[in-house]
Structure 1
């Protein structure tokens, strides 16, 4: 029930007509990892509750996640991430809304390279974004994998000078979304 609710919210977020949509794929258990590496510290966190929805007919793509769903090996680091940097109470969600620039044929199988262009919102700041990745097409499934870099300063995430040398200027974001065909939501 929770998965269907998340997908319905994503569908409404896309503003796409769902009536008769034959090529709708989604998940509520996608994974997104953040990674920062400096000589002083390596920071990693994983979010395994990422919602995503793609309409193959229109190319519309939406990805959404709660910031507090990122899990860090170090709980103190997780607390600092949510309270001091991401201000998760004030900005609880991050998302991407855009279009895949190539047409995906669900009848074919194999791996194809994709590019999506749209708007990414992190920490309450929305910016244009282009993301490259690959899609592995299977029977009623699409596995999307992607990797890109984010500069915290571009999303007005302030890093205190005391720890600035422990956090990379560019944070690597990678993900894997195993989407399944949704015949009806």
Structure 2
């Protein structure tokens, strides 16, 4: 699965396969949090694949929707069957480029913004994702957080549970990408 995820990421857009500065992981964490009046909802996906080409600043992040884990298993079932429809739309993908001209192969802390497309629930939108990358030259520690408006991705919330789910959820991530 780990190799398949990286192959899929590489095929998402052109990366120089002979590049000396590819950083990747198949064990990144992406979380979402919904702060609603009646109930907070939180889930984590610890099987997120990501790749960054430090020469071109191109990047991609891909995850299987079904890999999100909830503390409430019934909530997890509803998430996969009714909201994200993970059988119909099994993956979410971000493809983009870091806007800043940071040399990620040099040790340091970089405030960055990734600009690109986020595809979720079969819908693709342009997004800007702010984050921080800490580099030691051999690995990158990436942290990010951004809001996602559910209606933008045609994720419908039934009226009966509308007060339990926020219209905008916070998506965050943390991952360590290792130089290949």
Shorter chain as denominator, the TM-score bin is over 0.9
- Counterpart for residue 45 of structure 1: 43
The aligned runs of 1:21-170 (5 Å cut-off) are 21-170=19-168
1:155 deviates by 0.2
List per-residue Cα deviations over 1:120-175 (Å, max 9, x = no partner). Answer: 00100000001000001114100110000001100000000000111111100000
SS in 2 for 1:91: coil
SS in 1 for 2:6: helix
TM-score normalized by structure 1? 0.94
Distance in structure 1 (CA, Å) of the matches to 2:144 and 2:105: 22
Aligned 8 A contact 2:21 2:105 in 1:
no
What value does the CA root-mean-square deviation take over the aligned residues? 1.1
List per-residue Cα deviations over 1:28-72 (Å, max 9, x = no partner). Answer: 000000101112001000000000011111111100000000000
Distance in structure 2 (CA, Å) of the matches to 1:96 and 1:170: 18
**Any gaps of 5 or more consecutive residues in structure 2?**
none
Distance in structure 1 (CA, Å) of the matches to 2:105 and 2:55: 13
**Any gaps of 5 or more consecutive residues in structure 1?**
none
Distance in structure 1 (CA, Å) of the matches to 2:91 and 2:64: 5
Paired positions, count: 180
